[in-house]
């Protein structure tokens, strides 16, 4: 499994708007082959403005097919105000080494 983390530093005045943009998205990613799950993490500490969008994929190929798709272009085509972001997002891609779940 592949986990993709996109880290965003969001200005304080835009944090609620940022969450709503994800909540009200079109939902195209859910229809993508190989998509497993999406989580949006909000800051749990008052010392950070970092939000993390996590997507889970069955494989790297599935993720790359999403990023090469028209649906991806459409999902990322709506421009947010520049002042919403404090710097550029940071994308991280991780392979799951192992998973632990409750018995």
Residue-level pLDDT, tens digit, the chain, 103 residues: 999 999 999 998 999 999 999 898 877 899 999 999 999 999 987 777 799 999 999 999 999 999 999 888 887 766 788 899 999 999 999 999 999 999 9
Please count the structural domains in the chain.
1
Whether 100 maps to a domain, the answer reads no
CB burial of residue 29 (10 Å; 0-12, 13-18, 19+) = middle
Cα gap 12→91, rounded to integer Å: 21
Length in residues, the chain: 103
Assigned token pair, 94: 């991780």
In a domain, residue 75? The reply is yes
Domain that holds residue 78: 2-95
Q: Is residue 17 included in any domain, yes or no?
A: yes
Task: Determine the pLDDT at residue 54.
Answer: 97
Whether 102 is covered by a domain: the verdict is no
- Other CB atoms within a 10 A radius of the CB of residue 98 amount to 4
pTM (predicted TM-score): 0.88
We report the CATH number of the domain holding residue 82 as 3.30.70.100
Residue 50 lies inside a defined structural domain of this protein: yes
- What the block records as the tokens of 67 is 């990023």
Residue 103 in any domain: the answer is no
């Amino acid at each position: 499994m592949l986990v993709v983390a996109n880290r965003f530093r969001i200005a304080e005045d835009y944090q609620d708007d940022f969450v709503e943009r994800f909540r009200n998205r079109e939902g195209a990613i859910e229809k993508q082959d190989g998509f497993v799950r999406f989580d949006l993490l909000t800051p749990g500490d008052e010392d950070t403005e970092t939000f993390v969008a996590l997507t889970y994929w069955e494989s790297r190929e599935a993720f790359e097919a999403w990023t090469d798709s028209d649906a991806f272009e459409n999902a990322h085509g709506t421009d947010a105000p520049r002042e919403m972001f404090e710097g550029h997002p940071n994308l991280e891609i991780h392979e799951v080494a192992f998973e632990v779940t409750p018995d």
